[in-house]
Amino acid sequence: MVEPTRNVLLSIALVVGVALAQRVSFAQSERERVLINRFLLAAQKRDYATLAKLTEAFTLEAFQIKDENPRSLWPSLLAEFWKQKIDDLQHKELTPTSIPGMDHPFFNEGDDETIHEARELLGLVPPSAKWAVTEVRPRPRRPFSSAYYLDVYVAVSYLSKDAAPRISGKVLKKTILACTVTGPPLDSVVACDQFEKGDVYWPEGQ
């Protein structure tokens, strides 16, 4: 009689464990859907304050300011920090680096690269753009790390040819954004890039 009981308990534990894992995964996915929608809406509306505060590179810098300074200085230091980042997103002049033999210039890692990527995203979400999160894919967690990352895929469509982005002389009708986000405590967007394999263009002449 003992063995069947043990098997039943193990089965129940397994079912409960799977159910809890599914609930956690669902909650995690919903959290990141909300995050990426806020991020894209901020980009579309040119809400640079929200865009900056949801960008992981800037969020990490803000955490560093808190780590290196007494709490009494946080409000003034962070207010100045975010004011500068918002201004940089809008106005900072970026100078790409060119290397002989490379087809395209690039931006040095750091703020310039982050700002360039944000501005590229602005061009992909004009006011007429519509989007929907199609997939949230958690990445395996690193050992001994509390941080976790997820890949989020977003389908973007452009209902009007006149307002759609132009890529190499062609007008986009649909594309896919491949985004990476991080969960708590940062809850921010690492990157959100155009996935060129998902590009669909308006036929010429339409």
Q: What is the pLDDT of residues 3-18, one digit of tens each?
A: 556 555 455 444 433 3
Amino acid making up residue 99: I
User: Residue 183: pLDDT band by 50, 70, 90 thresholds?
Assistant: confident
Query: Which domain range does residue 43 map to?
Result: 2-201
For 47-82, write each residue's pLDDT tens digit: 999 999 999 999 999 999 999 999 999 999 999 999
In-domain check, residue 35? yes
- d(CA 34, CA 61) in angstroms, rounded, equals 23
Q: Is 206 inside any structural domain?
A: no
Q: How many domains does the chain have?
A: 1
14 belongs to a structural domain: yes
Of 204 and 79, more confident: 79
Alpha-carbon gap, residue 115 to 138, rounded angstroms: 26
Q: In this structure, is residue 43 part of a structural domain?
A: yes
**What CATH number should be reported for the domain holding residue 14?**
3.10.450
pLDDT of 98 strictly over 80: no
